[in-house]
Amino acid sequence: MTIFQKILDREIPADIVYEDDMVCAFRDIQPQAPVHILVIPKKPIVKIGDMDEEDRNLVGHLMHRATRIAADENLTDYRLVINNGEGAGQSVFHLHLHILGGRPFAWPPG
């Protein structure tokens, strides 16, 4: 079981900023920007590359909620990041979308 499943199950605490029947959003424990929030589906999809056609609505909702959470955080400029696989920096194997904001970001990313 991943740490994010434990957050969903309320087995470990998290600073939850949004939740509905499909997704949950909470602040990253090791923030990489003044605002760093993770949005996860309640369905335990391991990584974005594993999403099925039937998950399109869920992933669309995840993305849409992320934009609303960013607006609630008063962010106009922000970055949404999904790391897919270890080589891309994924360390928790339950799909999550990072919302990063509150500072400038470089491109290309590291």
Nearer to ligand AMP, 36 or 61 (CB): 36
Total residues binding ligand AMP (CB under 6 A): 12
Provide the minimum distance between the beta carbon of 107 and ligand AMP in the complex, in angstroms, as a whole number.
18
Question: C-beta of 60: minimal distance to ligand AMP in Å?
Answer: 20
Interface positions, 11-40, toward ligand AMP (CB under 6 A): 14, 26, 28-30, 38
89 binds ligand AMP (CB under 6 A): yes
Q: Is 57 in the site for ligand AMP (CB under 6 A)?
A: no
Q: For residue 76, what are its two tokens?
A: 């106009």
Are 4 and 15 spatial neighbours (Cβ–Cβ below 8 Å)?
A: no
**Which residues are identified as catalytic?**
96
